[in-house]
Amino acid sequence: MADLTPTPNRPGLHVSKPSPNTPATGSAVCHCGATATATGDAQVRALVEGYTAHHGPAHHRTGR
């Protein structure tokens, strides 16, 4: 399987939760240079919400 972790050359959002009993992990890299990581279901949920609202797709909507 390919490494799906985002990088500055390949920005994006990656979330993993291998089983219901393990905490989720997430990482995000935006083309603007912002990066973030999170561990735990609630923290990963916040990471996804923040990335979606302020980075990645949000840049295309606002032109930032």
Rounded distance between C-alpha atoms, residue 45 and residue 41, angstroms? 6
Q: pLDDT averaged over the chain?
A: 87
| pLDDT recorded at residue 62 | 54
Q: How far is CA 29 from the centre of its chain?
A: 7
Residues 64, 60: Cα–Cα separation, whole Å: 7
Identify the bridge partners of residue 7 per DSSP, sorted by sequence position. Answer: 10
pLDDT in tens, 12-43: 999 999 999 999 999 999 988 899 999 999 99
DSSP assignment of 34-64 = -EEEEESHHHHHHHHHHHHHHSTHHHHHH--
For residue 5, what pLDDT is reported?
A: 84
Assign 50 a pLDDT band (cuts: 50, 70, 90): very high
Question: Comparing 23 with 9, which gets the higher pLDDT?
Answer: 23
